[in-house]
Structure 1
Amino acid sequence: MATAVRFDTIGIANRRKGSDQMKLNGDANKTTNKVLNAIFVSVELSRKTWLVTSLVPGTGEKLSRHTVMGGDIAGLLERLARLKQKALDRTDQSYPIIVIQEAGLDGFWVHRVLQAQGHESHIVDAASIAVSRRRRRIKTDRLDGETLIRALLAFERGEPRVCSMLRVPSPDDEDRRRITRERMVLMQERIQHSNRIKGLLFSQGVTDYDPLRRGRRERFEAVRTGDGRDLPQHMKRQFDRDQGIGKSGNTRLRSTLLEMAWLWLRHQPGSALSRWFNERVAQNGGRFKKVMITALARKLIVALWKYVSAGVVIEGAIVRP
């Protein structure tokens, strides 16, 4: 309890009087020595450099900052080893290292390396860290490092609602998440295409066409503008692109879907989807295979999704036991 009072008093003095940072660091360090007995490190990750801010036990110690080249994990581990040796030289005691970093584009690989080396590591949601609302907050890597150290100290003391630490998934769980995220991206792209089609049609006086309903291509041929004209040819070509597997979005996923459709025709020739494809191609005298394979890929991904999620077997498909 005395520890909490000490830090609250420091915080009030710092806000009211603008107290010297060295005093704050010294008091914080005394609390570290008496209660937590650890070396506290924050790492600000960026593409070019990593800023390492540390609070090492020892009387009169203050926050120290060092820079490591971005991606240099060996340099980071070396810096942590030096901090541990520094604390040992000053106090004749060996202290564990506790590291904190913000969640970001770097993912969780740095966290996993630190844990593999025996260090305690935390990843914090940056938006969950409380900041002063009295005035506009200056944001720099130096101040962010100090803020992370303070948040880590409070978190280790067990103070409530200080910040939210992330639950780091295993590599396998992280990889499985990408499947759902890819589907979410595709769903968002579909909504964007649908809204654009509706907007363009509305500008021509068409309000009763839904590009997501069954048989949309057949119904599209009968669409007329509000004044009775056929749709402009350029607009029709644009709709043909938007209603297929478009050139925008995930290129690798699109290529995979098309390749999967060709393989489906080869290995599942008796399925309903393969028969549908062959009938459509035969109606056009063997033309438009590339156009129809895109349509088959779209139907196939929907059918496979039903099979995976609900166990609905594709009609005519040969399923191995």
Structure 2
Amino acid sequence: MKGVPIILENETTTPVETMKDRNRIFSALLEIRDGEKEMITVLEKRDYTGKGVLYMAMELSNAKWKLGFSNGSKERVVTIDAGECCGLRRQVSLAKEKLHLAGDCQVFCCYEAGRDGFWIHHMLEENGTHNLIFDPSSIEVNRRKRRTKTDKVDVKALLRLLIRYLSGERKAVSVVHVPTPEEEDQMRLMRERGRLLKEHSGHVARIKSLLVLHGIRREVNPGLMKKLADMKDRQGNDLGSDLKAEIVREYQRFELVIEQLKALHAEQKRRTKEQNTKALEQIMTLMRLKGVGPQSSWILVMEFFAWRGFKNRRELAACAGLTPTPYDSGASQREQGISKAGSRRVRSMMVELSWLWLRYQPDSQLSQWFHSRFGNGKRMRRVGIVALARKLLIALWRYLETGAIPEGAVLKAS
């Protein structure tokens, strides 16, 4: 830079003695600082093509949507009714005008993952908006005991987070991988089955609880309904008419759940035989392994392997919430257990599948590793089964990707 002396390492220099030299150096430093500020402003307002960029964040609720807009320096916050797609497009056009951006400028949007699912994302993408869905648990928050919490504050925080992420700070927040509508629809069958199983257990527990109130302990089956009319309590008294009627209605709901479960299982078998898709091929491949059944295969494929692309084993384990979370600060060192930040369906299924793997694949390398390290003590086995679940998940992923059978594993007889 003209007028500023350059000082090289190990070079002897004469101190600046005159006020004129000092003023010249100070003026040059001010020029550098102003130039850096100007460049930062340009980078914030422009994308790599030189055109203006509109940043948009959405704070979603059941009744209202809070929208935040920015061009990198100025902000604008408005509110619209929830689900008003036409109103959303109008506000985007108005924001371009108010923030002095071109009508064809790029629009980058973000919102937090939640009950609205992915339909907003698909709608925005169809309209030419680049959208990102943020994982709410990865967003930084103020750790003070009392902090301001309003939709306006939240949407501005999302807006700043979006700009940071698009500026290259990829660790600022975690972005959700969005499935296609077809991939999302494939998950519905197993998720409905999971809800029906919970309802099944709930009906059984409710009927047993009603009977235990009167000292009766019986299994819930068709025989119970046949004897209900003449059933007596522990003191030999007849059961109340309203109690019997409630048990009958509860049992009818119980039978309906069983019928729906049978229908779902029949649909699974039909699809396995008749349809020929990548997901069903992966299910059939997993089922070749002894100890891996149709339900566990279906969950692993539909929730993970059919549509998620994993780069390495660390990404796979993190997505299932099976990665360790050590605490190492100063003199304090301890293990906090697994993160539990991923899919709870896959995580619980892998723990259940790990117990089955020990039973049906006792000679495999994974089973021998488990027994050699966690074979002693009930508590150690419960801790070790989680470690085995992580290793088994990685082995099944490699089996589908490369065809490499887990070491020592046995295939089912064809």
Match of 1:53 in 2: 68
Alignment-derived partner of residue 267 in structure 2 = 308
- Confirm or deny: 8 A CA contact 1:204 1:225 kept in the other structure: yes
Q: Deviations over 1:272-311 (max 9, x none)?
A: xxxxxxxxxxxxxxxxxxxxxxx6x666434433433456
| Secondary structure in 2 matching 1:54 | strand
What is the CA deviation profile of residues 237-291 of structure 1, one whole-angstrom value per residue up to 9, with x for unaligned ones?
1100001127xxxxxxxxxxxxxxxxxxxxxxxxxxxxxxxxxxxxxxxxxxxxx
Q: Report the counterpart of residue 123 of structure 2 in structure 1.
A: 113
Q: Match for residue 249 of structure 1?
A: none
| 1:199-239 per-position Cα deviation (integer Å, ceiling 9, x unaligned) | 222221123x232x564434656754223334333211110
- Match of residue 162 from structure 2: 152
In structure 1, the residue matched to 2:236 is 228
In structure 2, what is the Cα distance between the partners aligned to 1:242 and 1:216?
Answer: 12
Identity %: 28
Report the secondary structure of 2:253's partner residue: coil
- Preserved CA contact (<8 Å) 2:54 2:96: yes
Q: CA deviation at 1:101?
A: 1.4
Q: What residue number does 1:32 align with?
A: 44
The amino acid of 1:79's aligned partner reads Q
* 298 and 119 in structure 1: CA distance in 2 versus 1, 3 angstrom threshold: closer
The 8 Å contact of residues 124 and 163 in structure 1, kept in 2 or not, is answered as yes
Matched, 1:210 2:219: yes
- C-alpha change, 1:180 and 1:27, in structure 2 (3 Å) is farther
1:43 aligned counterpart, secondary structure: strand
Where do 1:192-271 residues align within 5 Å?
192-207=202-217, 209-211=218-220, 213=221, 215-218=223-226, 220=228, 223-245=231-253
For the 8 Å contact 2:45–2:53, the answer to whether it is kept is yes
Structure 1 residue 112 displacement after superposition? 1.6
Cα distance in structure 2, aligned partners of 1:181 and 1:40: 35
Distance 1:27 1:131 in 2: 29
Amino acid at match of 1:232: G
Q: Does 1:41 align with 2:62?
A: no
- Give per-residue Cα distances to partners, 1:11-69, cap 9 Å, x unaligned: xxxxxxxxxxxxxxx99966623777732111223344322111114xxx322112334
CA contact 2:210–2:247 (8 Å) conserved in 1: no
Cα distance in structure 2, aligned partners of 1:113 and 1:188? 34
Question: Does the Cα contact within 8 Å between 1:29 and 1:55 map onto a contact in 2?
Answer: no
Contact 2:96/2:103 (<8 A) preserved:
no
2:389 — aligned with what?
none
Could you say which residue in structure 2 is the equivalent of 1:266?
none
Matched letter for residue 216 of structure 2: V
AA in 1 matched with 2:233: T
Matched to 2:235, the amino acid is: D
Counterpart in the other structure of 1:291:
none
Gap change, CA 1:96 and 1:134, over 3 Å in 2: same
Higher relative contact order, chain-length normalized (CA < 8 Å, sep 6+): 1
- Give the TM-score of the pair, scaled to structure 1: 0.59
CA contact (8 A) 1:39 1:55 kept: yes
Secondary structure of 2:239's match?
A: coil
Shift of 1:94: 6.5
Change (3 A) 1:178 1:137: farther
CA shift, 1:161, in A, is 4.6
Q: Give the Cα separation in 2 of the matches to 1:170 and 1:157.
A: 27
Classify the secondary structure of the residue corresponding to 1:205.
Answer: coil
Q: 2:163, 2:202 → 1: CA distance?
A: 45
1:47-86 map, 5 Å? 47-57=62-72, 61-85=73-97
CA contact (8 A) 1:84 1:94 kept: no
SS of the equivalent of 1:122 reads strand
2:140 aligned with 1:125, yes or no?
A: no
Residues 155 and 303 of structure 1, relative CA distance in 2, 3 Å threshold: same
**C-alpha contact (below 8 Å) 1:40/1:55 kept by paired residues:** yes
**Equivalent residue in structure 2 for 1:170, among 180, 194, 201:** 180
Counterparts of 1:303 and 1:239 in 2: how far apart (Å)?
23
Q: Which amino acid is 1:197 matched to?
A: I
The one-letter code matched in structure 1 to 2:44 is T
1:183 alignment counterpart? 193
Q: Which amino acid aligns with 1:304?
A: A
Which residue in 2 is equivalent to 1:135? 145
User: What is the SS of the residue equivalent to 2:110?
Assistant: strand
Q: TM-score, normalised by structure 2?
A: 0.47
Distance 1:175 1:28 in 2: 44
Unpaired runs of 5+ residues, structure 2, are: 1-37, 271-414
